[in-house]
Amino acid sequence: MKLNFSGSHSQSHTIAGLFLLLLPLLLPNLFGPLGRASPSMFSEWNAPKPRHMALLRGALQRQTSVQQQSRLWSPLANQGWKPCAETSKVPLPEKSRGYIQVFLDGGLNQQKMGICDAVAVAKILNATLVIPHLEVNPVWQDSSSFTEIFDVDHFIDVLRDEVSIVKDLPSEYSWSTREYYGTGIRATRIKTAPVHATANWYLENVLPVLESNGIAAIAPFSHRLTFENLPANLQRLRCKVNFQALAFVPHIRALGDTLVNRLRSSPNKNQAAQTKYLLLGRDQIGKQNAGKFVVLHLRFDKDMAAHSACDFGGGKAEKLALAKYRQVLWQGRVLNSQFTDEELRNQGRCPLTPEEIGLLLAALGFDNNTRLYLASHKVYGGEARISTLRKLFPLMEDKKSLASVEERAKVEGKASLLAAVDYYVSMQSNIFISASPGNMHNALVGHRAYMNLKTIRPNMALLGQLFLNKSMEWSEFQRAVLDGHKNRQGQIRLRKEKQSIYTYPAPDCMCQA
């Protein structure tokens, strides 16, 4: 019996062709740049080609001297400031005035600031703080609780002499839940706390509720305590919470230590073969920088790209897709969309793309033998968008490349836990740099300043102007970058009025050595 393979082959081609023709009808969001609330999958897959080809060619051919590398990687000199180790001089009252609950929105770092403020408010009111409730993050859909992220026993123990804290309400107040406050107006809920409320506001508006009911629940609570005109002991208490009491749970620290140890070890043979410096035998630089790594917080997710209203080189399809996404999420409340891309870049209001942050790092003197850890949730455009950065830094790593699926099992799919791992690794790095300002950037800038660790703050306005100049050569770009970042590498900046103590811990939470 003779089988007709050619007929079967022809039939399969016909079916495949029909499937391709019908695919746009079956899955319109796959092809339409205006797919519901998100850019089309094609607009993310087809990431734009490098936008700064002349600079990229120069960066790929860069060479740095041993002296340059020594200056770049050297730790910060003593700046005359140190963390204040003083304990509170205000003793705990013999009897608490009642229980304080807070419900915290936002991502990990916004919630951390809220926790610090909640402890301070409990101190102001002489109240007992219930371990804060973390709301489900609307962007990342993360429902992780306080006890899943932070070591609750350590938290209570460190603050034992400062504030009374309980894990759960006693049975007579068990009715005071998030669900209870979501179903009606309640006498024990305070909804009117103004942004940056004063200590007196809490004494005048929350204390009467406490004294009448024995409990008060404050929601919303983000940024609900001022940074001004507070007693020194309260400011120090907030920093004590932030820098000492809020430790991550053991399994997050263990995974973080695993990642740090692997970053400090020698790269594997396949990675080493990709780097020109190792092949060229530049052993002195390699030995000098052995065990060192830099963390890059690449804040370039879809929300950031859309909210910035900047042009990222993806053409008309990407512009339309991001505009649609922006309209669905923020209903025209994005003020940046009123400006042109050039105006936004001149003002330093465009997040750096992976390509641009790579060029910045190269200009600062990081060579292609640098161990680079990528801290980010999800990069808009995926691997295609990161490819240029990877060409510049082939030893780039992240959680997935450094740890197995089994090692990541407890944090996978949980944005807050993943962010906690990145935060922990960032605090162990020799150098930290963020691609654009935000809560993670601000939190780490403050924490690393508190510990006198090197942190590079990109000069966004300068870089926006440099990247607009398409005729600039590599040597000129590098000089401008180096000049513009001399005083942006972790130098202590004293907090100004209305600025956050969590970003600028001196002088409120630091003492002159």
pLDDT in tens, 32-57: 332 333 434 444 446 678 999 999 99
Q: What are the DSSP E strand ranges found in 142-275?
A: 165-166, 189-190, 215-218
Sign of CA dihedral 478, 481, 487, 493: negative
pLDDT for 40 equals: 42
Name the least confident of 151-160, 186-195, 307-316: 307-316
Q: Which of these, 117, 114, 121, 155, lies nearest to 137 by C-alpha position?
A: 114
**Polymer length in residues for the chain:** 513
| Three-state DSSP state, 4 | coil
Q: Which residues pair with 150 in a beta bridge?
A: 248
Residue 155: enclosing H or E segment and its boundaries?
A: helix 152-158
Residue % of the chain over a pLDDT of 70 = 85
Q: Which of these, 185, 182, 204, 367, lies nearest to 289 by C-alpha position?
A: 367
The end-to-end CA distance of the chain, in Å, is: 94
pLDDT for 289 equals: 73
Q: How far apart are CA 116 and CA 245, in angstroms?
A: 9
pLDDT for 224 equals: 96
pLDDT for 378 equals: 81
Question: Are 513 and 80 within 8 A, CB to CB?
Answer: yes
Angle, CA of 363, 365 and 367, to the nearest 5°: 105
Residue % of the chain over a pLDDT of 90 = 69
Find the mean pLDDT for residues 321-344.
87
Q: Dihedral of the CA atoms 36, 41, 44, 49 (nearest 10)? A: -130
Which residue is it, tokens 């007992």?
128
Find the mean pLDDT for residues 225-242.
96
Residue 85 has pLDDT above 70, yes or no: no
Residue 377 has pLDDT above 50, yes or no: yes
Question: Are 222 and 137 within 8 A, CB to CB?
Answer: no
Find the mean pLDDT for residues 428-434.
97
pLDDT for 284 equals: 59
Sign of CA dihedral 409, 410, 413, 415: negative
Angle, helix 415-428 to helix 108-125, in steps of 10 degrees:
90
CB atoms closer than 10 angstroms to residue 307? 19
Q: Tell me 51's DSSP state.
A: S
Q: How far apart are CA 443 and CA 433, in angstroms?
A: 12
pLDDT (tens digit per residue) in 123-140: 999 999 999 999 987 777
Name the least confident of 37-46, 243-252, 364-373, 380-389: 37-46
Name the least confident of 44-58, 213-227, 243-257: 44-58
Q: How far apart are CA 472 and CA 359, in angstroms?
A: 13
Phi-psi region at 54: left, alpha or beta (left = phi > 0; alpha = psi -120 to 50): alpha
Find the mean pLDDT for residues 26-30.
43
Residue 247 has pLDDT above 90, yes or no: yes
Angle, helix 474-484 to helix 354-364, in steps of 10 degrees:
80
Question: Are 289 and 73 within 8 A, CB to CB?
Answer: yes
pLDDT (tens digit per residue) in 158-198: 999 999 999 999 999 999 999 999 999 999 999 999 999 99
Identify residue 27 by its one-letter amino acid code.
L
Angle, CA of 50, 53 and 57, to the nearest 5°: 120
C-alpha count within 13 angstroms, C-beta hemisphere, residue 427: 19
Q: Name the residue with higher pLDDT: 47 or 154.
A: 154
Distant-in-sequence, close-in-space partners of 177: CB < 8 Å, separation ≥ 6: none
Q: Pairing relation of β-strands 128-130 and 133-134? A: unpaired
pLDDT for 287 equals: 64
CB atoms closer than 10 angstroms to residue 145? 13
- 173 burial via Cβ count (<10 Å: 0-12, 13-18, 19+): middle
